[in-house]
Amino acid sequence: MRSPALGLAALVAFSLGGMAACASSPAALPWGQPDVAPDLPGTFVDAMTGREVADAVVYERLGAVEVVFVAEAHGEPAHHRLQAALVMALARHHGGRTVAAVEWLPASARGALTAWLAGFEDVERLRAAVAWDDVWGHSFAAYVPFFETLRAARIAIEPINAEPGLARAIARGETLDAAQMALLPRLDTGTPEHQSWFEQQMSSMAGHGHGHAVGPGGMERLYRAQLVWDEVMAANVIRLLEDKAHVVVCAGSGHITRALGVPSRIGAASHLIVMPLATLADVHARAADAPFPTREADLFWVP
């Protein structure tokens, strides 16, 4: 799993750790809306002013946009509880079709996931059906409450990530076969802020012992691998928007922060970014009265 340069290990730790084939447009499922939205957990803070935000204002801001991005550190239970609560809140307070779009699985897992959501099988059957341990690998137990909560509420969950191995092949500089080429999206490298931010994060990780020094061409390959994930997820979000859904994207913060990854690739769709942090002190230190990409999010959240 390690590439000749900084390697894929560091890239996977960064992107899949949550610094944290495109599917056809899904048909609307005949599911209702939850009767009651749970109280929102933790504390929300405006990322520009540093002031706490009441739940009623959070509901209002959720409903004012087409896409809500909720960042995560993969496998962090509190973050996945937050994601489930925000999906429920959007569905309950704003009606319409609400869809949770998740990074955790590739689009090809949609059939198995949709079948599980529509049935009554034990959640361990889902784990096997989508090959969770091979495809994602983060603690399945941390995600179980999310899956079970949304199934009980009859809310659709859509997998939006790239197919396994595609980004890894790009990071390693491997020659893609015909099947992989068919899955490769157009990679928009025209955002210098994103590339600069990415390279800073990779260099920081290497400096802290989480990777190796980057050899010639290595950083460019790693960045292109990151773009594969971002572009595929964005394309799948756009398809959901075309189906007139409210979309809540659950993904690692490296794909969301500063609106540089997936958010920058969904066209003119309006969006809101919710970024979990550990403490209120972290929030106040990182609040910035500035536009993206200087600031990190629209709302910070602490448990």
- CATH label of the domain that carries residue 142: 3.40.50.11550
- Which pLDDT score is estimated for 205? 75
Q: Average pLDDT by consecutive 10-residue portion of the chain (303 residues)? A: 36 45 34 55 97 95 96 98 96 89 97 97 97 97 98 97 93 90 84 92 67 66 94 96 95 97 96 97 96 97 97
Residue type, 138: H
Does 139 map to a domain? yes
Strands 299-302 and 271-276: parallel
Strand partners, 159: 102
- Which pLDDT score is estimated for 246? 94
Q: Is 4 left (phi over 0), alpha (psi -120 to 50) or beta?
A: alpha
- Which pLDDT score is estimated for 204? 83
Does 281 map to a domain? yes
Q: Is the pTM of this model over 0.85?
A: yes
Q: Is 86 helix (H, G, I), strand (E, B) or coil?
A: helix
Name the domain count of the chain: 1
Residue span of the structural domain in which 66 resides: 7-21+40-302
Does 66 map to a domain? yes
- Which pLDDT score is estimated for 78? 97
Strands 299-302 and 43-46: antiparallel
- Which pLDDT score is estimated for 2? 31
For residues 7 and 58, what is the distance between their CA atoms, to the nearest angstrom?
40
Q: Is 18 left (phi over 0), alpha (psi -120 to 50) or beta?
A: left
- Which pLDDT score is estimated for 209? 44
Does 30 map to a domain? no
For residues 204 and 208, what is the distance between their CA atoms, to the nearest angstrom?
6
Does 131 map to a domain? yes
Given 3-state DSSP classes, what are the helix, strand and coil percentages for the chain, each rounded to the nearest 5?
A: 45, 15, 40
